[in-house]
Amino acid sequence: MRDQGLGSWTRRRARMTPDRPALVQDGRATTYADLHRASTRLAHGLRERGITRGDRVAFLGLNGVEMVLSMFATAKLGGVFVPVNTRLAPPELAYVLGHSGARLLLIEDALAASASTPEVDELALDIVTFTRDAGAGLDALHAPDDGEVDELIALDDLFMIQYTSGTSGRPKGVMLTHANVVWNVYNLLVDIDLGSDEVALVTAPLFHTAALNQVLFPTILKGGTALLEARFDPVAAVDIIERERVTLLFGVTSMYLALAAAPRFHAADLASLHLALSGGAPIPESLLHTWLDRGLMIVQGYGLTEASPGATMLRAADGVRKLGTAGTACFFADVRVAAGDEDVPAGEPGEVLVSGPNVSPGYWQDPRATEAAFTDEWLHTGDVATADGEGYLRIVDRIKDMYISGGENVYPAEVEQALHEHPQIAECAVIGVPDERWGEVGRVFVVTRPGAHLSESDVLAHLDERLARYKRPASVVFLPELPHNASGKLIKSRLRETTR
């Protein structure tokens, strides 16, 4: 095969286990032979619409076979897949589509209204609307030609751009090569005993790096089966685990909390589960013990989109002994805790630096941000951690002001930028505060203009059409002024002190 990239995986797996179910959606199975045949015909169809090497194909839709087919079809042509967060507000969507230079947008009909805006119209995109139908929703795009597509694709070619919010208030497009994803999958397979009979429940959104690169791709590589659910429903998830004998589960803190609170959690037969993965934010130890009581250790790790995402893993064997840590570096990755150019002593806080073949080459069309974050072959994460004498990381703070709400990264600068559009707000600041359900939620500190009369509901309503729901803060505090230092820089640490 000339294609050494991820697009060739359907062909490679179909020749090994053609009749094994690869994907299951709404009770309908797609075998590996089906997956290869459908993604190949879709690749021919995309080619007929003018998609070729390097073209960006954006996808906006819920978890489903349509997304998987679109991703593999794009990869087969040497195109670049751009999975779009389904929770973006229309202005955010328009920015991602414009910044990525997407040539084609595949959009689920239930979400089509978000693209029916003047900002998106100005981009003059080729837009194809489909229905989520276990793969059949894209049949109209399939070309009759089902001959093999075997482009010359190298592992270092660009595979995907995943957008993550930026501290400047604009999303950044993280470039991931085929090699980045492949090495990340290798790291995962070294750390966990994933089998060819795996049944993975995919309820976290596939537009995020964790569900896609830590669950779907490893499952497909091994020839297992991925159960694709459009959205996370904790009650339904418990039933699915029991009924379908699910073996592999991924979730963020809020998902594991919701599962543990489901009415049948303590009575359901969860014995089939042998792997429960988590990322996005540390899990409270009380929740870890709740799952331990059910005989399952939640395997935590530390990572970020720029590392595809895995950087460290707390393996199950050390789960109790090192409870609350993020583990040690993955096999094909290196991790340092440093201050400047020097590693800090054990127990001292420092910035987490990551290196390895899983690390992104940089940000799409953003050389300044790339130069700042990727230096001397190390990714500067902006996260602060300590490492104990055995190298186990404990994430303690963030250099950047980002907080994580329900597994979603939220950057205050982006929220503040939207708030500053309100004519009665003179100054504002946003910080993350602890929340039992979501891990963290936003809190806004507002200084109003003279004579203004604003309520908490007025401030939050202002964000309704401007930001995705998960980015909207949960509370508002009105102050006569915000704390600044002598140079006029806002001192957010003083605001955080008021929440303790």
For 159-168, 205-214, 484-493, which range has the lowest pLDDT when averaged over its residues? Answer: 484-493
Q: What is the mean pLDDT of the chain?
A: 93
**What does the block give as tokens for 418?**
């939207």
Q: Examine the pLDDT at 204 and tell me if it is beyond 80.
A: yes
CA gap 425, 383 in Å, rounded = 31
Is residue 150 assigned to a domain? yes
Q: Dihedral sign, CA of 416, 419, 421, 424?
A: negative
CB-based burial label for 91 (10 Å; 0-12, 13-18, 19+)? middle
Structure confidence at residue 485 (pLDDT): 60
Residues 73 and 157 in one domain: yes
Closest of 22, 53, 16, 62 to residue 38, by C-alpha: 22
Is residue 360 assigned to a domain? yes
CA gap 158, 181 in Å, rounded = 10
Average pLDDT over residues 453-481: 94
Is residue 30 assigned to a domain? yes
* Angle, in degrees to the nearest 10, between helices 9-16 and 32-48: 150
Q: Examine the pLDDT at 486 and tell me if it is beyond 50.
A: no
Structure confidence at residue 465 (pLDDT): 84
Q: What is the pLDDT of residues 101-110, one digit of tens each?
A: 999 999 999 9
Q: Which residue has the tokens 């404990």?
A: 394
Q: Give the SS3 label for residue 79.
A: coil
Structure confidence at residue 487 (pLDDT): 42
CA gap 301, 278 in Å, rounded = 7
Structure confidence at residue 319 (pLDDT): 86
Structure confidence at residue 166 (pLDDT): 52
Q: Examine the pLDDT at 378 and tell me if it is beyond 90.
A: yes
For 1-5, 171-175, 294-298, 387-391, which range has the lowest pLDDT when averaged over its residues? Answer: 294-298
- Phi, psi at 184, each rounded to 5°: -65, -40
Question: How many domains are contained in the chain?
Answer: 2
Residues 454 and 425: beta-carbon distance below 8 Å: yes
Angle subtended at Cα 364 by Cα 362 and Cα 369, rounded to the nearest 5 degrees: 55
Average pLDDT over residues 131-151: 93
Dihedral, 15, 19, 24, 25 alpha carbons, nearest 10: 100
For 250-259, 283-292, 328-337, 454-463, which range has the lowest pLDDT when averaged over its residues? Answer: 283-292
Residues 313 and 454 in one domain: no
Residues 193 and 268 in one domain: yes
Closest of 212, 232, 223 to residue 68, by C-alpha: 212
Residues 381 and 409 in one domain: no
Structure confidence at residue 159 (pLDDT): 98
Q: What is the CATH number of the domain that holds 313?
A: 3.40.50.12780
Residues 332 and 427 in one domain: no
Higher pLDDT, 171 or 62: 62
pTM of full prediction above 0.85 = yes
For 59-68, 165-174, 274-283, which range has the lowest pLDDT when averaged over its residues? Answer: 165-174
Residues 319 and 453 in one domain: no
Is residue 394 assigned to a domain? no
Structure confidence at residue 401 (pLDDT): 76
Look at residues 385, 413, 448 and tell me which one is the last residue of a structural domain. 385
Q: Examine the pLDDT at 393 and tell me if it is beyond 90.
A: yes
Is residue 392 assigned to a domain? no
Beta-strand pair 158-164/374-375: unpaired
Angle subtended at Cα 216 by Cα 288 and Cα 31, rounded to the nearest 5 degrees: 130
Residues 478 and 342 in one domain: no
**Top-ranked range on mean pLDDT: pick from 4-13, 166-175, 312-321:** 4-13
Structure confidence at residue 75 (pLDDT): 98
Is residue 390 assigned to a domain? no
Structure confidence at residue 167 (pLDDT): 46
Residues 332 and 187 in one domain: yes
Residues 25 and 133: beta-carbon distance below 8 Å: no
Is residue 397 assigned to a domain? no
Continuous segment of H or E residues that includes residue 11: helix 9-16
Q: What is the pLDDT of residues 42-51, one digit of tens each?
A: 999 999 999 9
Position 148 confidence tier, pLDDT thresholds 50, 70, 90: very high
Q: What is the CATH number of the domain that holds 464?
A: 3.30.300.30
Higher pLDDT, 55 or 396: 55
- Cα distances (Å, whole numbers) of residue 34 to 11, 79, 226, 388: 10, 22, 14, 49
Is residue 97 assigned to a domain? yes
Q: Give the SS3 label for residue 273.
A: coil
CA gap 321, 386 in Å, rounded = 17
Position 63 confidence tier, pLDDT thresholds 50, 70, 90: very high
Residues 149 and 9: beta-carbon distance below 8 Å: no
Residues 420 and 365 in one domain: no
Structure confidence at residue 395 (pLDDT): 83
Residues 114 and 198 in one domain: yes
Residues 42 and 126 in one domain: yes
The percentage of residues in the chain with a pLDDT greater than 70, rounded to a whole number, is: 97
Q: Examine the pLDDT at 30 and tell me if it is beyond 70.
A: yes
CA gap 304, 128 in Å, rounded = 31
Dihedral, 304, 306, 310, 311 alpha carbons, nearest 10: -90
Q: Examine the pLDDT at 87 and tell me if it is beyond 50.
A: yes
Residues 381 and 456 in one domain: no
Structural domain including 488 reads: 403-497
